[in-house]
Structure 1
């Protein structure tokens, strides 16, 4: 809880603001963040109305937590609102999300 309060609660508005400044209005009506156990299969995952973040990114400080949050926010546009035809093209949405995480984080 302390890690979330110290790090994540400050980062969410900043990361969303950077995303909105770059791409415009969020494509979905709501976004929640759920912290999942460290043994979750990845560091993060995005669904239309929820972002799953692994507990393992919280102790990494604001940079690791923030860049992962930015990456998952980017998936709202690239991967969810606009998606690949099938899993053979998943690299496209991952590529855009990885590129945009740096753009958002720099802002």
Structure 2
């Protein structure tokens, strides 16, 4: 299991620890079972304001997750985490040649989101 941390505004830290901290290892374990070793050495989650342009975004070593996902509870948080974790392989480790191929990254991440989340709920 790679090291993982959550960074959130102080007013959201407790809810992030309650909702997200248990989900991260479950989602990572599910991804390892399907794809093998994670391509990066750590995973941090940064909670961003709800006016962020999307529910989530992946970058090497960090996932940006909109605070609006917290209101959806463990299901929405879990599926968003799984989607962004999938981008570690499809979108970050293996990237599109240009924007015309971005649908491949999103397609794989969307498919794997369901597979990871289904497996994560069994952990």
Alignment match of 2:90 (pick from 78, 85, 104): 78
State the partner residue of 1:68. Answer: 80
TM-score (norm 2): 0.85
State the partner residue of 2:37. Answer: 25
CA-based RMSD: 0.7
Runs of 4+ residues over 6 Å off in structure 1:
none
State the partner residue of 1:92. Answer: 104
| Structure 2 unaligned blocks of 5 or more | 1-12
1:2 Cα deviation from its structure 2 partner: 2.6
Find the aligned partners of 2:15 and 2:112 in 1 and give their Cα distance: 25
Equivalenced residue count is 107
**3-state SS in 2 of match to 1:39:** coil
**3-state SS in 2 of match to 1:32:** strand
**3-state SS in 2 of match to 1:45:** strand
**3-state SS in 2 of match to 1:25:** coil
Find the aligned partners of 1:91 and 1:64 in 2 and give their Cα distance: 22
